[in-house]
Amino acid sequence: MGLALAHTYRGTILEAVAYVTSINLPINAETLSDRARRGPRYTSYPPATEFDSGFGASDGDRELASVPGGAPVSLYCHIPYCRSLCWYCGCNVKISRDRSKGSSYVAMLCRELRLLAGKLDSSTQLVELALGGGSPNFLLEEDLTRLTTTIRETFNVADDAEFGAEMDPRETSVEFLATLSQLGFTRMSVGVQDFDEAVQKAIHRFQSIEQTDKVISDARRLGLDHVNVDLVYGLPAQTPRSFSRTLDAVIGFEPQQIAMFGYAHLPQRIPHQKLVERGGHMPNALERAELMLFATDRFERAGYVQVGIDHFARPDSPLVHAALSGNLHRNFQGYVVRRAERLLGCGASAISDSGGAYWQNHINIEQWERSVRAKQLPIARGVRLDQDDQIRRYVITKLMCDAELELTEVEKRFAIDVREYFAYELDQLSRDEFNELVEIELDDGWLCATALGCQLLRNICMVFDRYNRHSDLNPNDGSRPSFSPTV
Ligand code: SF4
């Protein structure tokens, strides 16, 4: 269950089943799969599909110039390289076995970092660094050192800044982990997905439990003690029975956090995903919901708390503290502790969020490089948020993070009459399809997800999404085929 359910429900998923049963609506795979739709994951609002090529380098310059002096910022650096392609992959990735390619990439990344820092007030504080990809551990140790040293020399790094990196355990050496630790990294996110042989064959990703366990143990010994593990459900040949061994192994690693995403099979947008179809039976909507509930139950029995729609964390973890204190945030990396309002993205395809605009760098590495060489922000597209976007972003982020919304706070913050402004949305939410998902107390000024609604927050958010009235919208069920299913 989502955490911040002050007005509806707080407890474990098993208690939730009892709670929902008491209002004659059990959370079961049928209930969830019947209500699953396709829609955005709301890691941003507007979703990245709304970014526009009319937003360019000069717009980015203006946004960076308006960041107030002393403001905290987070930095994300994208390392697009991996040694082999996982067929389910939806990231911007470039396959190579030549690690020296990372050297010229890092050289360019350092130039971009200096370019970016030069456009910010020098008192801007870097409070968080995340390396993602691709696989940051594709880099040679000396390139990782060069990158991190440049960041420390270029930005005003806060004493308590948190450094974290995504890691592919199939390619991670002790030397790389030791370098990360020496450079001040304390957090690591490890990709697992599934340990079952048939599933691994279907997705072309071969990784043993022992190999993963060793990387996590080595990392902890070296001081990278905050570990997140990524899993994916909805993959071909996956069943609750086959997934069970993976869940046992992951729980045995005792990570602080587990992120479990529903597989987004979108071969029309990501052609290599067609290869996944060879791997056997692809779970249907009902089977996906069964897998999700099965894993959720296992995590909660093992003492993890569900945070948002797809994260699980130990009760004493920073993520749970953030959820309980209203400090949970959602960005392109999923649910995170909110440390800064602004996110700067560096590297090919990286996305930045200045609060008033989002923008994405060129996906193509050569194009990205050309812009950096020309001393121009390598922006391919973006969107400036108008007042309506700002209001809806606030509402959607609150719902995705807290599963509830204080309507009176929206009125105060944006000087609007919520009943009038959201008349259409409130009418939609009062219909049969939604009255099992939300409770609305207009007089008290509250909108809360029910226990069932907590698993389907994306469905609720889609009602508030102005861009969800597009031509690709299925008029029968409100689905958008170009997005992943909500369960
Ligand atoms: S390791 Fe991650 S980023 Fe690289 S191909 Fe596999 S899924 Fe994609």
For residue 336, the model assigns a pLDDT of 95
Distance linking the first and last C-alpha atoms of the chain: 14
| Residue the block writes with tokens 């008192």 | 123
C-alpha to C-alpha distance for 158 and 75, rounded to whole angstroms: 12
pLDDT band for position 2 (cuts 50, 70, 90): very low
Nearest atom of ligand 1 to the alpha carbon of 133: 3
> Mean pLDDT score of the chain, rounded to an integer?
92
Q: At what angle do helices 141-154 and 101-118 cross, to 10 degrees?
A: 0
Q: Which residues surround ligand 1 with Cβ inside 6 Å?
A: 82, 85-86, 89, 91, 93, 133-135, 168, 191
Is it the case that residue 251 has pLDDT exceeding 50?
yes
Contact residues for 236 (Cβ-Cβ < 8 A; gap 6+): 199, 202, 203, 276, 277, 279, 280, 281, 282, 283
Indicate the top mutation candidate among 78, 79, 89, 205 to test ligand 1's pocket, ranked by most ligand atoms within 8 A of CB: 89
For residue 267, the model assigns a pLDDT of 94
pTM reported for the whole predicted model: 0.92
Distance (angstroms) between ligand 1 centre and the Cα of 119 equals 32
Pick the residue whose CA is nearest to atom 8 on ligand 1: 89
For residue 433, the model assigns a pLDDT of 87
For residue 8, the model assigns a pLDDT of 42
Is it the case that residue 161 has pLDDT exceeding 90?
yes
Nearest atom of ligand 1 to the alpha carbon of 170: 1
| pLDDT (tens digit per residue) in 436-478 | 999 999 999 999 999 999 999 999 999 999 998 765 667 666 6
For residue 22, the model assigns a pLDDT of 38
Distance (angstroms) between ligand 1 centre and the Cα of 87 equals 8
Contact residues for 331 (Cβ-Cβ < 8 A; gap 6+): 43, 44, 343, 353
Query: Cβ distance 123 to 69 under 8 Å?
Result: yes
| pLDDT (tens digit per residue) in 83-100 | 999 999 999 899 999 999
Is it the case that residue 352 has pLDDT exceeding 60?
yes
Nearest atom of ligand 1 to the alpha carbon of 193: 7
For residue 468, the model assigns a pLDDT of 86
Distance (angstroms) between ligand 1 centre and the Cα of 135 equals 7
Pick the residue whose CA is nearest to atom 3 on ligand 1: 134
Indicate the top mutation candidate among 79, 83, 96, 135 to test ligand 1's pocket, ranked by most ligand atoms within 8 A of CB: 135
Distance (angstroms) between ligand 1 centre and the Cα of 443 equals 49
Is it the case that residue 50 has pLDDT exceeding 70?
yes
